[in-house]
């Protein structure tokens, strides 16, 4: 039988196929060097534009008379899917001009744009082969993301996508919304949805040129697992190896604080939302995303706009902590930005035109805290350039930079290197003589060049469990430099070389304003720090009348972004419950509780109470607010302390849930009790 040899074409095709097939790479094993190279442009950029745009711009926040909706309107207004889909017929942004959008971002000093390719509602702003629920099924019939990515490429702006894992439209996504009786989940297959999502992500990373960041969101529902997260991270990286992916691809994010928990979760940077971390986090990449008003998607009634001054100072604050700032615009249904957004972008751009050197390619401040503003820094050939962002211009025209031991090389106002400012050493500080009037009403940058790497000493840290005490309190005072001597005063005056030395404790028996400062070789070596400790009397136990186990709950329903005044609302139902739990809820979102009763305090002392909740909560003892954990957020714990006498005290906890995960835990801690959930056995009511 004739030996059949494959044609050369067949062999070549086979070779190509073999050559194209490569084992997927597990990028979680990426080296630090490789990640640093990939993240470099993003770390240098510091400032980007977030854009939330979609069908929700059509109702613009309003539905049946309610006007506080945003991009969540399909859920917050419980709009049945067929009714929501009708917005497609009205989506015709005839004034959309991608080049204008990109120019506004670029002129504002933004280096990248992250736009919602698909938000939770499932509508796609791009021409997707995988669905008809996209812009091509609207009267507009143009691929919005194609036009935007082309404009970005022309202007040297990085194009990035926000893509929601949670999808309220695709029949295979699970879970359904609690209120969605019109969409049974029978037959839904989450893995089939994930295959659909991956197919769209392939379109988004293959059809629109190089994409800078994939900004995932909607990862918090119980169906989205760590395994799915790691798989999706690697899937996208294998599509475009140099892409950057946020930590919402996986489920390791710690609520709205946004950082990634320990445990090998995927994601290249943390995503604090609507908040800025209190301090920098060396070695951690993070980006704060924030709205200009109170909504991500356009709401025509929302006029609670942040001022340009506030936004510029937030940019400096974030950059001084080593983070990026992703500032949001919610375009209108006609394709234009709200005027208020345009104006703020323009004013930010005017500031950036003069000061962007103090933002781009900078690293975090070497100082712990500066009373008058912030600091960013860059390395120079001979040392370090410090950019001093002065929010509060010194009335005496002397800018005091504390705790710095470097020799100054020069100082000048940003943009005026030819006009040197006088720099003098005064103990641990460098004093810079500046003009009487601030350079900029929002944020004036003074440049200080110093020799070598920053040699900064932080003020001491005054520590104690509480700031209140009954009989006495013994705060500790520590310094980051063990060679320093710590001296203190008890009236908040700046400690001097004559002040007493702190050895291992100081006992306070009266209300005291404790100040501390570091000294080196008998000379001041840092700024000072001052903390108030207050002597208090325990609140006497209350008269309760006859008690029985359990507390009273009142259950409410409504759409809130923060805790309402439940006393002004009518409860859907009330009753007795054994503890602070949500078991009596009727709906899965848009509800709230008020719990009231008495707690039995076993002995006199300082008692700490904490709530850990998603969304907001507050705790009161005898009518006094002790734990304030209000707001829209993931699980977050906040607490406070109060002095109580042994016996019964009133306790009240209020809680609200808007949407997504919901949970409430209430803890206490006190003499003989380490932090634990408040047990049923100490809760009573007299009704």
Angle at which helix 98-107 crosses helix 339-355, to 10 degrees, equals 40
Pick 296 or 442: Cβ nearer ligand FHN:
296
State in angstroms the smallest separation of the CB of 157 from ligand FHN.
Answer: 20
Pick 256 or 401: Cβ nearer ligand FHN:
256
Backbone angles phi, psi at 400, to 5 degrees: -100, 120
Residue 188 CA to residue 184 CA, distance in Å, equals: 9
Within 46-80, where are the H helices?
73-76
State in angstroms the smallest separation of the CB of 177 from ligand FHN.
Answer: 13
State in angstroms the smallest separation of the CB of 629 from ligand FHN.
Answer: 17
| Cβ proximity of 293 and 303 under 8 Å | yes
Is 677 in a helix, a strand, or coil?
strand
Pick 120 or 389: Cβ nearer ligand FHN:
120
Angle at which helix 226-239 crosses helix 190-206, to 10 degrees, equals 30
State in angstroms the smallest separation of the CB of 35 from ligand FHN.
Answer: 23
Cα 236 from chain centroid? 24
Pick 255 or 647: Cβ nearer ligand FHN:
255
Pick 70 or 495: Cβ nearer ligand FHN:
70
* Size of the chain, expressed as the number of residues it contains: 687
Pick 72 or 469: Cβ nearer ligand FHN:
72
State in angstroms the smallest separation of the CB of 131 from ligand FHN.
Answer: 20
Across 214-229, b (16+ Cβ under 10 Å) vs e yields bbbbbbbeeebeeebb
| Cβ proximity of 659 and 76 under 8 Å | yes
| Cβ proximity of 60 and 332 under 8 Å | yes
State in angstroms the smallest separation of the CB of 296 from ligand FHN.
Answer: 4
State in angstroms the smallest separation of the CB of 71 from ligand FHN.
Answer: 5
Pick 219 or 428: Cβ nearer ligand FHN:
219
Q: Which two tokens stand for residue 647?
A: 């016996």
Pick 274 or 464: Cβ nearer ligand FHN:
274
Pick 222 or 381: Cβ nearer ligand FHN:
222
Which residues share a beta bridge with 56? none
Pick 63 or 296: Cβ nearer ligand FHN:
296
Residue 237: HSE in the Cβ half-sphere, 13 Å Cα cutoff: 24
State in angstroms the smallest separation of the CB of 289 from ligand FHN.
Answer: 5
Peptide bond before 652: cis, by omega within 30 degrees of 0? no
Q: Is 69 exposed, middle or buried (0-12, 13-18, 19+ CB in 10 A)?
A: buried
Pick 287 or 428: Cβ nearer ligand FHN:
287
State in angstroms the smallest separation of the CB of 337 from ligand FHN.
Answer: 17
- Taking the CA atoms of 68, 116, 97 and 75 in sequence, report the sign of the dihedral they define: negative
State in angstroms the smallest separation of the CB of 659 from ligand FHN.
Answer: 8
In sequence order, the 6+-apart residues with CB closer than 8 A to the CB of 38 are 30, 242, 244, 268
Residues that bind ligand FHN (CB under 6 A): 71-72, 217, 273, 289, 296
Residue from 504, 524, 506, 522 nearest 514 by CA: 506
DSSP string of 270-333? B--BS---SS--TT--BEEEE-SSS-SS--TT---PPPHHHHHHHHHHHHHTT-EEEEEE---T
State in angstroms the smallest separation of the CB of 239 from ligand FHN.
Answer: 23
Pick 52 or 385: Cβ nearer ligand FHN:
52
Residue nearest to ligand FHN (CB): 296
Pick 274 or 490: Cβ nearer ligand FHN:
274
State in angstroms the smallest separation of the CB of 273 from ligand FHN.
Answer: 5
CA 311 vs CA 331, 359, 461, 483, 497: distances in Å: 19, 14, 30, 40, 41
Q: Which two tokens stand for residue 28?
A: 């979680």
Is 520 in a helix, a strand, or coil?
strand
Angle at which helix 98-107 crosses helix 144-155, to 10 degrees, equals 40
Pick 71 or 250: Cβ nearer ligand FHN:
71
């Amino acid at each position: 039988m004739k030996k059949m040899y494959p044609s050369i074409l067949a062999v070549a095709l086979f070779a190509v196929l073999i050559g194209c097939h490569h084992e997927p790479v597990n990028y979680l094993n990426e080296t630090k060097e490789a990640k640093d190279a990939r993240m470099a442009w993003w770390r240098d950029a510091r400032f980007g534009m977030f854009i939330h745009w979609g069908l929700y711009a059509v109702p613009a926040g309003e539905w049946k008379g309610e006007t506080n909706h945003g991009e969540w309107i399909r859920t917050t207004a419980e709009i049945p899917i067929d009714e929501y889909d009708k917005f497609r017929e009205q989506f015709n942004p005839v004034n959309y001009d991608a080049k204008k959008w990109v120019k506004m971002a670029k002129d504002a000093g933004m280096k990248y744009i992250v736009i919602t390719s698909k938000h939770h509602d499932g509508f796609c702003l791009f021409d997707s082969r995988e669905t008809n629920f996209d812009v091509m099924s609207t009267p507009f019939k143009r691929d919005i993301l194609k036009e935007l990515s082309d404009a970005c490429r022309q202007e040297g702006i990085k194009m990035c996508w926000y893509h929601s894992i949670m999808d309220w439209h695709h029949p295979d996504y699970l879970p359904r919304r609690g209120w969605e009786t019109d969409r049974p989940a029978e037959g839904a297959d989450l893995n089939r949805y994930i295959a659909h999502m991956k197919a769209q992500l392939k379109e988004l990373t293959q059809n629109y040129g190089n994409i800078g960041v994939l900004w995932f969101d909607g990862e918090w529902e119980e169906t989205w697992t760590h395994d799915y997260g790691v798989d999706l991270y690697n899937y996208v990286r294998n599509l475009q190896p140099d892409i950057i992916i946020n930590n919402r691809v996986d489920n390791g994010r710690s609520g709205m604080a946004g950082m990634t928990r320990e445990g090998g979760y995927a994601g290249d940077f943390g995503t604090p939302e609507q908040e800025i971390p209190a301090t920098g986090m060396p070695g951690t990449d993070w980006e704060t995303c924030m709205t200009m008003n109170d909504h991500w998607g356009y709401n025509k009634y929302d006029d609670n706009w942040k001022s340009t001054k506030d936004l510029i100072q937030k940019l400096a604050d974030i950059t001084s902590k080593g983070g990026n700032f992703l500032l949001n615009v919610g375009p209108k249904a006609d394709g234009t930005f709200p005027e208020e957004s345009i104006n703020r972008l323009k004013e930010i751009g005017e500031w950036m035109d003069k000061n962007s050197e103090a933002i781009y390619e900078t690293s975090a401040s070497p100082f712990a805290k500066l009373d008058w503003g912030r600091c960013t820094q860059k390395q120079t050939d001979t040392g370090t350039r410090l950019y001093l962002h002065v929010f509060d211009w010194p009335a005496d025209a002397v800018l005091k930079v504390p705790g710095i031991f470097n020799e100054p090389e020069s100082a000048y106002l940003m943009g005026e290197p030819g006009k040197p400012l006088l720099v003098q050493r005064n103990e641990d500080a460098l004093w810079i003589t500046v003009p009487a009037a601030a350079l900029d009403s929002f944020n004036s940058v003074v440049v200080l060049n110093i020799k070598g790497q920053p040699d900064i000493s932080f003020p001491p840290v005054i520590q104690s469990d509480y700031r209140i005490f009954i009989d006495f309190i013994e705060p500790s005072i520590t310094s980051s430099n063990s060679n320093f001597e710590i001296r203190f005063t008890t009236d908040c005056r700046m400690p001097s070389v004559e002040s007493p030395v702190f050895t291992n404790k100081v006992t306070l028996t009266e209300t005291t304003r404790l100040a501390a400062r570091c000294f080196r070789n008998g000379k001041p070596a840092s700024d000072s720090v001052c903390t108030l400790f207050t002597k208090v009397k325990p609140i006497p136990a209350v008269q309760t009348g006859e008690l029985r186990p359990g507390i009273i709950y009142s259950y409410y329903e409504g759409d809130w972004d923060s805790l309402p005044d439940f006393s002004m609302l009518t409860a859907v139902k009330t009753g007795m419950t054994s503890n602070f739990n949500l078991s009596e809820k009727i709906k899965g979102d848009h509800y709230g509780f008020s719990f009231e009763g008495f707690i039995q305090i076993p002995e006199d002392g300082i008692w700490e109470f904490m709530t850990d909740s998603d969304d907001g909560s507050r705790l009161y003892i005898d009518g006094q607010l002790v734990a304030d954990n209000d707001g829209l957020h993931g699980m977050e714990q906040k607490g406070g302390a109060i002095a109580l006498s042994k016996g019964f005290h009133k306790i009240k906890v209020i809680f609200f849930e808007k949407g997504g995960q919901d949970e409430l835990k209430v803890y206490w801690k006190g003499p003989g009790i380490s932090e634990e959930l408040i047990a049923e056995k100490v809760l009573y009511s007299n009704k």
